[in-house]
Amino acid sequence: MKEQLIIEKIELFKVPPRWLFVKVTTREGIIGWGEPVVEGKADTVAACVMELQQYLIGKSASNIEDIWQILYRGGFYRGGPILMSAISGIDQALWDIKGKFLGVPVYDLLGGAVRHKMKMYCWIGGDHPEVLLEQAHEKVKAGFQAVKMNATGGMDWISTLKDVKLVANNIRLLREEFGSDLDIGLDFHGRVHKGMVKRLIDELAPYEPMFIEEPVLSENNDALKHIYSYTSIPIATGERMFSRWDFKKILEEGVVDIIQPDLSHAGGISEVRRIATMAEAYDVALAPHCPLGPISLASALHVDFVSANAFIQENSIGIHYNQGFDLLDYVLNPEIFDIRDGYIELFQKPGLGVEMNEEKLREGQKIGHNWANPIWRGSDGNFTEW
């Protein structure tokens, strides 16, 4: 019997605002799309994808797990944001191909859906109080019942009392405007050092945030045991963790309530599904990180659809990073991402369910991007986490 779904071609599209897509084409002409990117390191990840071609061309796209194992374990050095993001995009594309070949959505290949819709949240910034309420009303009008914002701007290792008092102002405005009808996540973004976290929690607790995200940088996860026992606010983290091995310790230590692996950074659909199952065994919720494009979001939703512990999904519609281009601009069927009463309905199309506009991608590729996050400094000139 002739082997099917032989990978013949891999193409990359680096397009604004800050995205990188991979197109994998099989001998039968079936196309799979993935989103392998690290924000600010798109060219580096693109080079990694090209290096991994040697393990893909001529192989069957149907053998998703074997390919994943080879891409991860075939090199002596493993893990990290660049390799795992490259693997992520390839993995997404292979699931897309297999679903299209078999005529079923990816979630059916993962065991079938456990829900018929997924609750969503979006960004409202948070750095500028004067537009906060306006943005929140826009999102509520668009159908969202939950939002997330930055809790702080740049913070010193030990910040002033004035800075501490300012932190709670934004969520206070939202609570006064919307009461308990709006869920509000607060992203510390790794900007806060250990010595300030408990002080900030004291200020924020009266306004009952849905969760506190990345209270410390992932390299300081050992501090979570002190933070976790200090507050009843759910603690979320994981966007800068790249495999099940990175999540293993915080799950074993019981210092997190919500994990947030990114489908474009943490090994794709295959690995995030495993991470989600690990978290379920520790009674920890799943809320995948997703400030990126439509393929990353679709991949996250397929994992959400099959994961009993998934409770909410981030998306980048209207996010402040999407200057000039937005989530739906490269999509031919944007209706699959419609928000109804705060939820996205279960996808019905085979594969990932996203039809990419290749003509627009080729136009965007001519523009490209060189996105990098800003470099912040404190009043004394010292580097400050962004």
Asked if residues 183 and 134 have their Cβ atoms less than 8 Å apart, the reply is: no
For residues 154 and 133, give the distance between their C-alpha atoms in angstroms, rounded to a whole number: 22
Pick the catalytic residue from 116, 137, 189, 320. Answer: 189
For residues 96 and 327, give the distance between their C-alpha atoms in angstroms, rounded to a whole number: 19
C-alpha torsion sign, points 237, 243, 246, 251: positive
Closest CA relative to residue 48, chosen from 8, 90, 96: 90
Pick the catalytic residue from 116, 226, 265, 289. Answer: 289
Q: Is 320 a catalytic residue?
A: no
Q: What is the 3-state secondary structure (H, E, C) of 286-308?
A: ECCECCCCHHHHHHHHHHHHHCC
- Rounded to 5 degrees, what are φ and ψ at 173? -60, -40
- Which residues, 6+ apart, have CB-to-CB distance to 63 below 8 Å? none
As beta bridge partners, residue 208 has none
In this structure, the number of other CB atoms found within 10 A of the CB of residue 116 comes to 9
Q: CA angle at residue 242 from 241 to 245, to 5 degrees?
A: 90
Q: Is 289 a catalytic residue?
A: yes
- Which residues, 6+ apart, have CB-to-CB distance to 87 below 8 Å? 36, 52, 68, 71, 72, 267, 268, 271
Q: Which residues are catalytic?
A: 189, 289
